[in-house]
Amino acid sequence: MAYKKPESALVVLFDEHHRVLLLQRMDDASFWQSVTGALEDGEMPIETAYREVAEETGIDAKALGLSITNHAKQNQYVIRERWRHRYPPGTLHNTEHVFSLQVSSKTPITLTEHLQYEWVSKDEALARLWSPSNKEAVSLFVPSKA
């Protein structure tokens, strides 16, 4: 098994109603998150963001003419103990690059890596998300309803 690089992209998707797309993990049904994934060798964080959105939701943002916003924000967090075996031995921290993408709520979602998805209010997303950095990204980068 090839180890994951301890550097990832987090992409918060929200719709025209300022609802946040939450994805339920297959390996931990209590864990809801935004799109996220590790950078591959030679890949820039923005490339990872586009790739992961397509892989996890079926949304080809480039083909739809949508631009992912790079918030030029990086987080560093401790990798959950249950996932550390995926990284090189002794790796404890991950660096996360934060992005967001607004899509129409009518855009079809095709899941490949998650159990289910839900469009929820910003407040509900903040209550349900497990990751503190994911909560912060939703709080900072998803507009509040007018």
Please tell me whether 43 is known to bind a ligand. no
Please give the Cα distance from 140 to 12 (Å, whole number).
11
The pairing of strands 93-102 and 7-14 is parallel
56 is in an annotated binding site: yes
Q: Which residues pair with 114 in a beta bridge?
A: 25
Cβ atoms of residues 9 and 43 within 8 Å: no
Q: Provide the CA 8 distance to its chain's centre, in angstroms.
A: 9
CA distance 48 to 59: 14
Q: How far apart are CA 81 and CA 89, in angstroms?
A: 12
Q: Any known ligand binding at 5?
A: no
Is 7 annotated as a binding-site member? no
113 among the known binding-site residues? yes
Q: Which residues are annotated as a binding site for Mg(2+)?
A: 52, 56, 113
Q: Which residues are annotated as a binding site for substrate?
A: 4, 25, 36, 131
Q: Which residues are annotated as a binding site?
A: 4, 25, 36, 52, 56, 113, 131
